[in-house]
Structure 1
Amino acid sequence: MSITKKEVYQELYRLLLEKQKEIVESIGQLKQSAAEDTKSSAGDKYETGREMVRQEIDKAELMHREYRVQMDRLKSIDPSEKHEKVKIGSLVATDRAAMFIAVGFGKIEVNGQVVFVISPQAPLARLMMDKTTGESFTFNGAAQQLVQVS
């Protein structure tokens, strides 16, 4: 693996900050839109529009809280800590993919290499937990071998 855990950690941190910023801006725009909406329309139509905006704000605020939880979990990981066995905070390379066990974020790219950032509760992560380099496991009928754990 040509990337380090610290590089993956830093990119994930940056992406989470970016997502939080986007959500905060979106919430601000939605609130501004709701405030600018006047009752010049017919009553029911106006109330329906306001309710739809309210639902969008609620959804955005929920996403914002989730990103904050993910950031808190990420901050609890020490990217300089070396792992012999797979656990939370491990950067794992199998013969099929690179994965960072931290939060459920999805696919990111670090220095041109794809890394899947997965939650420790994900079925794939649970299969790898406590395994060391060289051990194998089967996920969705496909055998994989741990090539590197850091």
Structure 2
Amino acid sequence: MPFSKIELHQELVGQISEKLKLISDSIRQLKDSSAEDTKSSAGDKYETGREMIRQEMDKAEKMSLEYKSQLEVLSSLRPDESTELIQRGSLVVTDRMPLYISVGFGKVNISGQEVFVISSQAPLARLMMGKTAGKVISLNGITYHIKAVQ
């Protein structure tokens, strides 16, 4: 594997932190926009614009909480430790793809390789929990051969 679990973990923390920063900037801009809208508008146009801004702020704040929660989970993991049994924090290499069982994030590209970052609550992760290298599992008719666990 062209990267270590520690590098993958750091890359993931970096990407989530960057998304959190962008969301925080967006929330700040929406608050500024809302304040300006209050000063300059009147009537129905004002109410519609304010409601749209409020909805965008709610969405952004929800995403902000999700990213903070993901960072909290990641901070509880020990990427420098390897185990034989698959658990939360494991990097699992299968014949189909590498998986990092931590938070539901999706694909991360590191050192030219795609790694799927999935929550420990994902169906595939739940099937893998407690398994070791050499085991085979099946989900929705797809078979996964576990080659290595870090």
User: TM-score over 0.5 for the alignment?
Assistant: yes
CA contact (8 A) 1:73 1:102 kept: yes
TM-score of the aligned structures, taking structure 2 as reference length:
0.96
Tell me by how many angstroms 1:39 deviates.
5.7
In the alignment, structure 1 residue 85 sits paired with structure 2 residue 93: no
Residue aligning to 1:29: 29
Which amino acid counterpart does residue 64 of structure 1 have in structure 2?
S
Tell me by how many angstroms 1:17 deviates.
0.7
TM-score of the aligned structures, taking structure 1 as reference length:
0.96
Distance (Å, rounded) in 2 between the aligned partners of 1:52 and 1:120? 35
Tell me by how many angstroms 1:144 deviates.
1.1
Sequence identity of aligned pairs in percent? 57
Which amino acid counterpart does residue 5 of structure 1 have in structure 2?
K
Structure 1 segments of 4+ aligned residues over 3 angstroms from their partners = 38-42
SS at 1:137 equivalent: strand
1:73-115 C-alpha deviation (Å, 9 max, x unpaired): 0000011111101100000000000000000011001111100
Unpaired stretches in structure 2, ≥5 consecutive residues: none
1:20-43 C-alpha deviation (Å, 9 max, x unpaired): 100000001111111111465441
Over aligned residues, Cα RMSD in angstroms?
Answer: 1.1
Show the 5 A alignment for 1:1-150.
Answer: 1-38=1-38, 40-150=40-150
CA contact (8 A) 1:39 1:46 kept: no
Tell me by how many angstroms 1:143 deviates.
1.0
Which amino acid counterpart does residue 66 of structure 1 have in structure 2?
E
Tell me by how many angstroms 1:3 deviates.
1.9
1:48-96 C-alpha deviation (Å, 9 max, x unpaired): 1101101110110111011000000000001111110110000000000
Aligned residues: 150
Tell me by how many angstroms 1:16 deviates.
0.9
CA contact (8 A) 1:118 1:125 kept: yes
